[in-house]
Amino acid sequence: MGVVLENASKEAADGNCDAQQAMKKIGGAYFRQREVSAQEAVYRVCGLHLKECSRKVQFVPVGDNPVRMSLPLSVIKKKANQLQDNNIWMPSLYDRYKARPVDVIFENICYASFCSEYYVLSASQIPKNPEKSQVYKLQNDFGSIKKRSRTDAAVIKYPRFSSEKSPELYFHSNLQLFLPHRTEGQLKPLHFNSYKDMYLTGAVTIPPDTEPTNVKSIVDANRKIFEQNAEALEEAEEMLQTDGPQEDAWAQIAPEAEAERLEGAMDKEQLNEEDIFEIPELDNTTRKSNQSHDIEIRQTLFPAITNENLHAAT
């Protein structure tokens, strides 16, 4: 494959092609020479999806410095002459969450639920009547969102931090994901020294409620929706990585079931041994049938005949 691409690049260079034509030649050589399996060929000819799932999967960036996408280069060049606007980053999913509409249904929603239940629409997907289609416009011209209706809520994936190794990142990410807020400063007000203090001792008032609620209870309730036995699973994963797979793990989890399984295996062996018994009549019949098919071949050796033997005989 490398030789084919090298020859294609040499032909493009000898023909004095521009960058676009050279890329077309190299790409064409790659697609013509690439090996494709029969399964992939059938999928591509029939137009089938190589991957299909019943639910969408959404990655949720969290932390102090999450991954962000920059604007296209053409847009950045246009903004170069504008002294007032120096922002070169596209609105992230977290920015859109903080700019959600001022509505009752969005006041009590956390970042994780927002990413799971809603998705961002492109400019061509926005209908003419947004109100009838359950499309909501975000603040600060960050686009529009729509509630997922064709499929169930999306499965979200987000980074997880250790509460022992990185406690601040751990509590910060939990507050970001599971505590409803509109600004970053609401996650740790000035009178709190750390995100852990905010999680353990903080209290917030979320409309339409008029009384403050403990932050810990809000975060734990929302976290329970997306995480089931998270600590136990993490501990099991660490044990598997350090100790390796345990052969007698099932005996420790369910010793009675393992004992019954072993007893059943022993009983099965005993039954197989009892099934083997001799029948004299059947044994004699078998021997006779074997003897009837035996052919005995006898060989008689004669001495060699010589002239001396002939004279002696006469």
pLDDT of residue 217: 94
pLDDT of residue 171: 94
pLDDT of residue 30: 66
pLDDT of residue 85: 63
3-state secondary structure the chain: CHHHHHHHHHHHHHCCCCHHHHHHHHHHHHHHHCCCCHHHHHHHHHCCCCCCCCCCEEECCCCCCCCCCECCHHHHHHHCCCCCCCCCECCCHHHHHHCCCCCHHHHCCCHHHHHHHEEEECHHHCCCCCCCCCEEECHHHCCEEEECCCCCCCEEECCCCCCCCCHHHHHHHHHHHHCCCCCHHHHCCCCCCCHHHHHHHCEECCCCCCCCEEHHHHHHHHHHHHCCCHHHHHHHHHHHHHHCCCCCHHHHHCHHHHHHHHHHHHHHHHHHHHCCCCCHHHHHHHHHHHHHCCCCCCCCCCCCCCHHHHHHHC
pLDDT of residue 116: 94
Global pTM value:
0.63
pLDDT of residue 313: 52
pLDDT of residue 36: 75
* Tens digits of pLDDT across the chain (314 residues): 566 667 667 776 776 677 677 777 777 776 666 677 888 878 878 888 777 788 889 999 898 777 777 878 877 777 777 656 667 788 889 999 999 999 888 999 999 999 999 999 988 888 877 667 778 999 988 989 999 887 788 999 998 888 888 899 999 999 999 999 999 999 999 899 999 999 999 999 988 888 899 999 999 999 999 988 877 888 888 888 888 877 777 677 777 777 787 888 787 766 555 555 555 555 555 555 555 555 554 555 445 555 555 455 55
